[in-house]
Amino acid sequence: LIELDRAHLVHPVSSYRGHEQQGVRVLTSAKGATVVDSRGRQLVDGFAGLWCVNAGYGHESIVEAAARQMRDLPYATAYFGLGSEPAIRLAAELADRAPGDLNHIYFTLGGSDAVDSTVRFIRFYWHARGEPQRDQFISIEQGYHGSSTVGAGLTALPNFHAGFGIPFDWQHKIPSPYPYRNPVGEDGNAIIQASLAALRAKVDTIGANRVAAFYAEPIQGSGGVIVPPSGWMKAMRGLCKELDILFVADEVITGFGRTGPLFACTEDEIVPDFITAAKGLTSGYVPMGAVFMADHVYQVIADGAGTSAVGHGYTYSAHPVSAAVGLEVLKLYEGGLLENGLRAGKRLMAGLESLKDHPLVGDVRGRGMLAAIELVADKAAKTPLPAEAQPSRRIFDRAWENGLVIRAFANGVLGYAPPLCCTDADIDAIIERTAKTLDQTLE
Ligand code: PMP
C-alpha cells in the first residue's frame, strides 16, 4: 500500500512537503472514538478524522439509513425542479433548528463548495438589489474557508495561496482577534474594539458601497483554534448590519455540536445572513455541505431570478444518500450525543488546563469539543518554538506512536476535536498521551 500510494495517490497538503518519504499510514477500521491502523495499533482519534466524525465511528443506524436510501433511490438531481424526500426533509429539519430566519438551505458536497456557493449567491443578491458594484469580500487573517480557488482566496493561510495568484483583488482581510497574540493585549473588550475599527477602516478604504460581505468563523479552526473573546461575533455582526454588509458565519467546523449546540451562532447570540456548514452535518460518513440563507436574502434572490439568471448547482447537490445520513445523524445528536459532547468537552478542557504548567504549554483554549494548546519556547515572552524544534510532523508522529491522533499545526499549536461520543476513558487517554508526547518533545 505504501508503494502504491507513493506512486499514484496525490495528497497535496502533505506529500509536497516530502512526507511521502515516510509513507502513508493506513486506517483499517474504527469504532466509537477509536481508530485502528494497518499494523493493528489502536488510537484514540482526538481529531475526529478532520474535525468531522462528530458522532463517532461505527453507528449501525447510520449505515442502515445509507443502505436503505441506496436501495430505494441512490440518486436524484436537484436540477429541473426535481428533488428527493430525504433532501427535502433534511432541509426542513435543519431550517427548524437553525438560528432565526435562516430557513432556506442549499446542499453542497462539502465546505469549500458551500463557501463558493455563498459568494455566488451574494453576488446574485447584490445584482438583484440593483447594486452590482458590491463585489468586494472581506475575511480574516488566520481564517480558513476552503481550498477551492475562490474559497482559498478567502482563506488566509499563505500555503493555500502559493503559486495560484490568489487572493483575488476583490478578497480582503482584517487582522485576527487572536487573544494570545493580539497587539492590543488579551483584554476582550480591547480586542473587540480593535476588530470593529479594522473592519470600519477596511470598508472605508474599499468604499462603503463596494463591500458585499464579511466572513467569520465563530472559532477560527485551521488557523489554530483561535477563540475570539465573548461578544466578538455579536459586535461584528452588529457592525455589518449597520454598514449593510452581508454577514457569513462559516460553521463548517463549529457546527453540529463541535462547540456544544448544533450552531455556535446560537451561543454567540447572533443570526447571520448566511451560515455555511459541512463536516458534522453527515459526521463524515458521506460528503455533504450546506448553505443556510436568511429569509430576506432568499426573497431578494428568488425575486431577482427572472431578471438576471445565474446558473449554479452541482451534480451531487442534495444527494439523497447524504441527506438520509444527515437525518439519522441529527437524530443521534439530539438523542444524547450533543449532551455527551458537552460533558466530555468539560473534561477535555479541564484535562488540557491541567497541562498548563508544562514548560512547553503557552496557551490553552477552546469551547466544547474544540480545543488547542499552543506550544512556546518561553512562556513569559510567548516566544514561538524555534523552527527546528517544532516540526509538527514529528509531534504528530510521536502522538501516533503513543496511540493518539491529534492535529499538529505548523505554528506549534496542537488541535483537538474528538468525537462527541467520547467516554471519560477516551478523554483521559487523550490527556495522558498528550502529556507523554509533550515530555518526549522536551527531551
Ligand atoms: N470552512 C471552514 C471553516 C473549514 O474549516 C473548512 C475545512 N476545514 C472548509 C470551509 C472547507 O471545507 P471542505 O474541506 O469540506 O471543502
**Structural domains present in the chain:** 2-58+349-442 (3.90.1150.10), 62-331 (3.40.640.10)
pLDDT at 309 over 70: no
pLDDT band at 14 (very low <50, low <70, confident <90, very high): low
Q: What is the pLDDT of residue 426?
A: 98
pLDDT at 11 over 90: no
Q: What is the pLDDT of residue 146?
A: 96
Instruction: Check if the beta carbon of residue 256 is closer than 8 Å to that of residue 264.
Output: no
105 Cα: distance to centroid of ligand 1 (angstroms)? 18
For the chain, the 3-state helix, strand and coil shares in percent, each to the nearest 5, are: 45, 15, 40
Cell for 158? 499563505
pLDDT at 149 over 50: yes
In short, whether 222's Cβ falls inside 6 Å of ligand 1 is: yes
Mind listing the pLDDT tens digit for each residue in 354-390? 999 999 999 999 999 999 999 999 999 999 887 666 5
Return the best residue to mutate from 53, 107, 144 for the ligand 1 pocket (most ligand atoms within 8 A of CB).
Answer: 144
123 Cα: distance to centroid of ligand 1 (angstroms)? 21
Return the best residue to mutate from 252, 282, 407 for the ligand 1 pocket (most ligand atoms within 8 A of CB).
Answer: 252
Question: So what's the ipTM on this one?
Answer: 0.99
Mind listing the pLDDT tens digit for each residue in 222-238? 999 999 999 999 999 99
Mind listing the pLDDT tens digit for each residue in 281-307? 999 999 999 999 999 999 999 888 665
Instruction: Check if the beta carbon of residue 224 is closer than 8 Å to that of residue 375.
Output: no
In short, whether 250's Cβ falls inside 6 Å of ligand 1 is: yes
In short, whether 144's Cβ falls inside 6 Å of ligand 1 is: yes
Q: Both ends of the chain: CA-CA distance in Å?
A: 33
In short, whether 261's Cβ falls inside 6 Å of ligand 1 is: no
Tell me if residue 78 falls in helix, strand or coil.
Answer: coil
pLDDT at 80 over 60: yes
DSSP sequence for 225-274: -B-PPTTHHHHHHHHHHHHT-EEEEE-TTTTTTTSSSS-HHHHTT---SE
Length of the chain: 443
pLDDT at 18 over 60: no
In short, whether 370's Cβ falls inside 6 Å of ligand 1 is: no
Q: What is the pLDDT of residue 307?
A: 54
377 Cα: distance to centroid of ligand 1 (angstroms)? 30
The CA–CA distances, whole Å, from 24 to 15, 20, 75, 106 equal 9, 7, 33, 35
Nearest ligand 1 atom to alpha carbon 109: 15
358 Cα: distance to centroid of ligand 1 (angstroms)? 32
Neighbours of 256 (CB within 10 A): 30
224 Cα: distance to centroid of ligand 1 (angstroms)? 14
In short, whether 284's Cβ falls inside 6 Å of ligand 1 is: no
82 Cα: distance to centroid of ligand 1 (angstroms)? 28
Per-position b or e across 303-317, b if 16+ CB within 10 A of its CB: ebeeeeeeeeebebb
In short, whether 145's Cβ falls inside 6 Å of ligand 1 is: yes
pLDDT band at 391 (very low <50, low <70, confident <90, very high): low
Q: Peptide bond preceding 183: is omega within 30 degrees of 0, i.e. cis?
A: no
* pTM recorded for the entire structure: 0.96
CA 289 – CA 271 distance, rounded (Å): 19
Provide CB contacts within 8 A for 56, sequence distance 6+.
32, 33, 48, 283, 337, 419, 420, 421, 422
In short, whether 112's Cβ falls inside 6 Å of ligand 1 is: yes
Sheet holding 289-293, edge to edge: 104-108, 289-293, 274-277, 246-250, 211-216, 136-140, 171-174
Give the residue-averaged pLDDT of 333-347.
Answer: 98
In short, whether 146's Cβ falls inside 6 Å of ligand 1 is: yes
In short, whether 363's Cβ falls inside 6 Å of ligand 1 is: no
pLDDT band at 162 (very low <50, low <70, confident <90, very high): confident
Cell for 245? 454588509
Q: What percent of the chain has pLDDT over 90?
A: 83
| Average of per-residue pLDDT values in the chain | 94
Q: Which of 3, 406, 27, 415 is nearest to 226 (CA)?
A: 415
Please tell me the residue having the least CA distance from ligand 1 atom 14.
Answer: 111
Q: What is the pLDDT of residue 16?
A: 46
Give the residue-averaged pLDDT of 185-200.
Answer: 98
In short, whether 254's Cβ falls inside 6 Å of ligand 1 is: no
